Structure 1
Amino acid sequence: MAVRRVPADYRTIQEAVAASGPGDTVRVTGGVYTGTVTIGPGRDGLAVIGSGPDNVILQGEGEEAGFAITGSARVTLAGFTVIGFLNGIQVATSDNVIRDMVAADCIDEGFDVLPDASRNLFIRVLSRNNGGEGIEINGAANWVIGSEFESNGDDGIDINGEGNLASENRASGHFRGENPAGITMEGNRNLAVNNRLVGNRWGLSTDAAGLLVFGNVMSRNSELGALFQDAADSLVLANEFSCHGEEGIHFNGATRIRVILNKAEENGTEGFELSSNTTALVVDDNEVKGNGLGGIRLTLTARDDVVRRNELEENNPDLLNEAPADAGNVLDENDCETSQPPGFCC
């Protein structure tokens, strides 16, 4: 194994990578470098380490990816700012570590994880002002932790694969694109844990199944805190939905979702809305206060939902059940002052 230095030993980063073998390290000192860096086969365990994203800039001209991990696994990338490529960092293999990296002003994604890429760790990365997603994950079982996503052209974090984790991230300023959100989850069995989703169009959006959405703060998004559109079989636990322009959380055609121990406060319309054939939800032990319209609203087509032991106050009204008498909804032991029709508060 060897340590190869740029520019002391090699003029470009790509030349140093091409000369490296498995387990080698490429060290890059401060400066502005150009050209894409491709890490192909035969370099498992390679580490490419810059002296810090404030010091080392990889500058592109709108083509290809800044760094492309295409044929080797267990690669480490750290300590670069990547600017102006088609994609910032593209990962096609597994078990890599991408840390302390900045991807900015790229035409498409800041970070792009391809379908066969799994078990990759992205930690302490920043994706800012890219034309597409801050990070797009199409593979399975990848982890995005402790990172920031700011003002990208579509979603901050877009998860299409299965079994991925987004935790301790912050996503803000996502208003462009079609229905942009701080986090969008279209793959099943993904986890969003302890993220801050603030100042986007939507905080979180999903149409998937088998999700865990736990401990997230969604605040001051221009429309919705969260949208569960045709989502199913998931747990929404101990999140905060506050100060959104519309609903705190909107279930549209959702089924078999447990909504437990959340807070929905000071949203522009409803705290929770269950609409468009939303069925078999369990909405228990939530705190719903000071919303502009209903605290918890079940529309005419909500069926077989359970709403129990919630604490509601200063909503208009606290509980609203528009469904007909035979809809099978159960509203029990809710601590509230107003309901339509009357009689659902205790």
Structure 2
Amino acid sequence: MVLRIVPTDEPTVQDAIDASSPGDSIKILAGTFDGFEVDVENLKIFGCGIDRTIIAGAPAQGSNDGVVVSANRTTLQGFTVQGFADDGTFISSNTNLIKEIETKLNSGDGIFNVGENNLFIKCKTSLNSDGFDSNGTNNCIINCESSQNSNDGYSISDERSKLLFNLAKNNTSDGLDLDEPFTTILQNKFLGNNCGIQIDDDNHNIIGNSVCDNFESGILLDNNADFNAVDSNIVKNNGNDVTGGSGIFVDSSAEDNTIRFNKARNNFEFDIEAIPPADTANTFDGNQCGNSDPPGLCT
């Protein structure tokens, strides 16, 4: 195993990758460097920290993305990726660790993932299109922040993935858009987005989240959302008198969902709203709220 330091041992990160073998490590010193593609498996690439090591300028070879990860078992940690014409970081491989990476001011998504079994920890995305756009399987996003993106904070089309302890704040569209089944959304914060959480598919567990101050609905279950559990969330101060919305809004064709033990207060126009026949096609139990439409959905 060899440690290569950029720019001391190799002038660019791509030169260091091209000289590496599986199991090697690359240290990027403070400064600004071009983009790169990780196409050697099991490399560990470390910067000196967010806003100290900056990936900007020329994109990864053969793309308009800043960083491309096409090899499995890659570790990326401790740098900023900014200002690229497409995605900040594009990941097509599996079993990678992406930790303490910031992506901002990219014309595409901050982090676009189509791989499987990838772990994202303490990453930050801002001022991109989607902050995180994930379309793989069994991925996990923990303790990340996604703010002020022009579309969604987190756009998740993964199956069997997990979002734990994350923040989505002041994104132009949804804080979180869920579009494939079997995800777990646990103890996240969705604050000041257009819609807090939009559920477009089945069999999600939405548990223990804080969903507050979103412009339209806090939690929206649309017409394709069935067999979801919306449980023990705090839903406050969502909706407005211009475009409407409610704290928890259940569209007419959503069915077999369980909405229970949520605390919903000070939402406009209702704390819980279910368009018939959704009021009888779903289970509402133990919700602490001030008002509902139709009446009777609160305890």
TM range (shorter): over 0.9
Counterpart residue number, 1:162: 159
2:6 maps to a residue whose letter is V
Q: Does 1:288 align with 2:285?
A: no
Q: Could you tell me how far apart the structure 2 residues matched to 1:204 and 1:276 are? A: 21
How much does 1:61 deviate?
A: 5.7
1:124 maps to a residue whose letter is K
Q: Which has the larger radius of gyration?
A: 1
Q: Could you tell me how far apart the structure 1 residues matched to 2:258 and 2:216 are? A: 23
- Of the three residues 26, 48, 53, the one matched with 1:51 is 48
Q: Could you tell me how far apart the structure 1 residues matched to 2:79 and 2:136 are? A: 24
How much does 1:101 deviate?
A: 0.5
Q: Could you tell me how far apart the structure 1 residues matched to 2:69 and 2:100 are? A: 17
Counterpart residue number, 1:124: 122
Q: Could you tell me how far apart the structure 2 residues matched to 1:54 and 1:87 are? A: 18
Do the aligned residues in 2 keep the contact of 1:61 with 1:84 (CA within 8 Å)?
no
How much does 1:234 deviate?
A: 1.1
2:232 maps to a residue whose letter is A
Counterpart residue number, 1:74: 73
Alignment root-mean-square deviation, CA = 1.4
Runs of 4+ aligned structure 1 residues displaced above 6 Å come to none
Considering fraction of residues, name the structure with more strand. 1
For 1:224-253, what per-residue CA distance to the aligned partner results, in whole angstroms no more than 9, with x for missing partners? 101100200111110011011230010002
- Of the three residues 106, 120, 144, the one matched with 1:147 is 144
1:225 maps to a residue whose letter is G
5+ unaligned residues in a row in structure 1: which ranges?
290-294, 299-318, 321-330, 336-346
Q: Could you tell me how far apart the structure 2 residues matched to 1:254 and 1:207 are? A: 10
5+ unaligned residues in a row in structure 2: which ranges?
240-244
Of all paired residues, the percent bearing the same amino acid is 28
Q: Could you tell me how far apart the structure 1 residues matched to 2:158 and 2:277 are? A: 27
Change (3 A) 1:163 1:123: same
Q: Residue 281 of structure 2 aligns to a residue in which SS?
A: coil
Q: Does 1:274 align with 2:268?
A: no
Show the 5 A alignment for 1:1-346.
Answer: 1-34=1-34, 36-40=35-39, 43-60=40-57, 64-70=64-70, 72-85=71-84, 86-114=86-114, 117-130=115-128, 132-175=129-172, 180-230=173-223, 231-245=225-239, 246-252=245-251, 253-278=253-278, 279-289=280-290, 295-298=291-294, 319=295
For 1:16-64, what per-residue CA distance to the aligned partner results, in whole angstroms no more than 9, with x for missing partners? 0111110100001100112x21011xx2211000011121001136762
Greater RCO (Cα-Cα under 8 Å, separation 6 or more): 2
2:235 maps to a residue whose letter is F
Across the two proteins, how many residue pairs are aligned to each other? 287
2:52 maps to a residue whose letter is N
1:160 maps to a residue whose letter is S
- How does the TM-score come out when normalised to structure 2? 0.93
Once structures 1 and 2 are overlaid, which stretch shifts more, 52-61 or 219-228? 52-61
1:159 maps to a residue whose letter is I
Q: Could you tell me how far apart the structure 1 residues matched to 2:12 and 2:214 are? A: 43
How much does 1:213 deviate?
A: 0.1
2:127 maps to a residue whose letter is N
